[in-house]
Amino acid sequence: MEDGLLKISVKNLLSMKRPAESIPVLYSRRMQMPFPDDTCVKCGECAKECRMGAIAVSDKWTVDVGMCLFCHRCAEACINRSLRLVDAPDYVLRREDLIFRYGEPVERPCGAVDEKKRKAIGRSVNIREVDTGSCNACEVEVNSMSNRFYDMERFGMKVVASPRHADVLLVTGPLTENMTEALDRVVAATPNPKVVVAMGACAISGGLFKDGKTHGGIDKTVDVNLYIPGCPPPPDAVIRALLEAFGLTGRR
């Protein structure tokens, strides 16, 4: 792992502003991803600055938000200041929907999980968090989802102690080699219909640890139904993603 990248992730975690009221927060704050305007000359300086390789510049400018740390160093490196910060998706259902190309729409519908699964799960979502080798930044945010500020239980969502009681597996970490069997067992122990969520850049693409002894994301091993980008995704983004994906937006 390249020196300094972990510090960027921790800085994202510690520098997040916490407004006084949580309900307005849930729909007023979005993560910001880089995207070029018409003045972009495709010089490639932003791609050179991106330590994760999330940006590629050839005949088209491309960013993979599933690899992005949201550090915005690419925008700072842009010579013409052509990179603007736009709202990133809270979640997507397909991995390829996290890849954005210049000339294509930035806004795209996120959609909802399979209707049969939503009907079976109902309006009470039981979550089992599974750490497959993360740095613990995502775990801090998952813990925050249950505190008095975010209080996700008012929306019908709660963390359970066993995968046998879970509807949703919220997976964090790049899936290290020694956690592969453990994840397979957890997935097998979770009753159907289940929803597997890849939370954060590590679970989606390997993130900071993609060059280590990892699988570079959990979808190489298990079927993923939901991808939530970020490094780490803040609690409000995760709650918002689950509310939208399960059709629970009317809950307060």
Average model confidence (pLDDT) across the chain? 89
What residue type is assigned to position 110 of the chain?
C
| Alpha-carbon span 122 to 200, nearest angstrom | 25
Q: Reply yes or no on whether the pLDDT at 127 is more than 80.
A: yes
- Quote the pLDDT of residue 27: 77
List, in order, residues 6 or more apart from 102 with CB less than 8 Å away. Answer: 35, 36, 40, 60, 61, 62
- Quote the pLDDT of residue 142: 96
- Quote the pLDDT of residue 243: 92
Q: State the virtual CA torsion across 134, 140, 238, 155 in degrees, nearest 10.
A: 140
pLDDT tier for residue 12 given thresholds of 50, 70 and 90: low
- Quote the pLDDT of residue 21: 57
What domains can you pick out in the chain, each with its CATH number? Answer: 5-89+97-101 (3.30.70.20), 115-245 (3.40.50.12280)
What residue type is assigned to position 211 of the chain?
D
- Quote the pLDDT of residue 19: 46
| Alpha-carbon span 220 to 21, nearest angstrom | 39
pLDDT tier for residue 134 given thresholds of 50, 70 and 90: very high
Q: Reply yes or no on whether the pLDDT at 250 is more than 80.
A: no
Write out pLDDT tens, residues 22-67.
667 777 788 999 999 999 999 999 999 999 999 999 989 999 999 9
- Quote the pLDDT of residue 10: 60
- Quote the pLDDT of residue 122: 87
Percent of the chain with pLDDT over 90: 74
| Alpha-carbon span 200 to 45, nearest angstrom | 25
- pLDDT average, residue stretch 68-85: 94
- pTM, entire model: 0.89
Q: Reply yes or no on whether the pLDDT at 224 is more than 70.
A: yes
Residue of 165, 95, 158, 163 whose CA lies nearest to 130: 163
- pLDDT average, residue stretch 180-193: 96
pLDDT tier for residue 170 given thresholds of 50, 70 and 90: very high
- Quote the pLDDT of residue 5: 64
- Quote the pLDDT of residue 2: 57
pLDDT tier for residue 185 given thresholds of 50, 70 and 90: very high
Percent of the chain with pLDDT over 70: 89
Between 114 and 16, the more confident residue is 114
Joined together, the tokens standing for residue 228 give 């939530």
